[in-house]
Structure formats: C-alpha cells, structure tokens
C-alpha cells in the first residue's frame, strides 16, 4: 500500500509543522492543521502561499500531540498490509511525519512504515493536469498529496 504524504511548514531553517495531508492509493484521506506552530517563524513563502489556505471550516486544528495521536490512530488501519510506503516529494515531509509517528522511547518510526521519494517518478505535467482538472491551488498539504497520488498513477502508467 502506498500513502502519498505532503506537509506544509514554517520555513526550512526553522521548521515547524503547519499542516499534513495523506491520501492512500485507494483514496482514504487524513488532513489536519497544527495549532501550536510558531507562526513568527514562517518564511515569506509560507506567510503568503500557505497560511491563507489554512483554517477552512470543518478542518481539524490540533496541537502537535493531538495531531500525532490522531495520525497514529488513522495509520493503524493500514498495519495489516505489512509494509506501507510513505511517498513524499520532499525530504522534509518525511522528517516531519517521522517526528509525529515515532516511538517516544526509541525515537524510531514503526518498522511497517517505510519512506520513499517519488520526486523522480512523477512528471510535472501530471501535477499541472491535476490543478487544471480540479481547480485547486498548490501548497495546501491535502491538495498536494492528492496531486502527487494523481501524478504518480499517471506517470507509472506511461
């Protein structure tokens, strides 16, 4: 099973999670926003490209501890697959994900979750096709995760 992950964060140098989106191969989704990120750490990019897309009605806005708990609970439905590939297009996505799901004592990610980069496997034209078809904007974690799933499926099919 593949899960397509995307995150939005404050800045590469002072990196705090703003939001996380995950879409499974079969369409199951997880999305949440982090309530305790220090917004003063946001780069101009995050301030103008990401923050305006946050805080939509009905979205789970959780502390990092709550978000980690809910994410771990959501991920449990995939445990029976044995090995689950967490597909990312940027290494920071995996790093932020790993911080949320790692064991508090060993600091290890559960062995059934494996990170993999899909950056080289997806074609930009398929990402653009997604934005045109669905009328979404980039730099929203759930929309980007959906776009990566879409682009990966089309790129692999070629």
**Exposed, middle or buried by CB within 10 Å (0-12, 13-18, 19+), for 11?**
middle
Nearest to 119 by CA among 82, 144, 142: 144
Where residue 87 falls among pLDDT bands split at 50, 70, 90?
very high
CATH number at residue 69: 3.30.420.10
- Angle, CA of 63, 91 and 85, to the nearest 5°: 85
Give the tens place of pLDDT for each residue, 124-139: 899 999 999 998 888 9
Q: What is the pLDDT of residues 35-76, one digit of tens each?
A: 999 999 999 999 999 999 999 888 999 999 999 999 999 999
| Per-residue pLDDT at 104 | 86
For the chain, what is the domain count?
A: 1
Report whether pLDDT(156) > 90: no
For residue 115, the enclosing domain spans 2-157
| Cβ count within 10 A of residue 140 | 22
């Amino acid at each position: 099973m593949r899960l397509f992950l995307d995150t939005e964060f404050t800045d590469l140098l002072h990196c705090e999670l703003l939001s996380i989106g995950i879409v499974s191969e079969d369409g199951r989704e997880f999305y949440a926003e982090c309530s305790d990120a220090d917004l003063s750490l946001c780069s101009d990019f995050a301030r103008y490209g990401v923050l305006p897309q946050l805080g939509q009605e009905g979205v789970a806005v959780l502390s990092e501890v709550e978000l980690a708990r809910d994410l771990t609970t959501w991920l449990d439905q995939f445990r029976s697959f044995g090995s689950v590939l967490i597909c990312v297009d940027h290494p920071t996505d995996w790093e932020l994900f790993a911080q949320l799901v790692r064991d508090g004592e060993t600091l290890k990610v559960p062995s059934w979750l494996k990170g993999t980069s899909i950056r080289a496997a997806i074609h930009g034209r398929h990402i653009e096709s997604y934005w045109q078809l669905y009328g979404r904007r980039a730099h929203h974690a759930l929309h980007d995760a959906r776009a990566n799933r879409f682009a990966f499926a089309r790129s692999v099919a070629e």
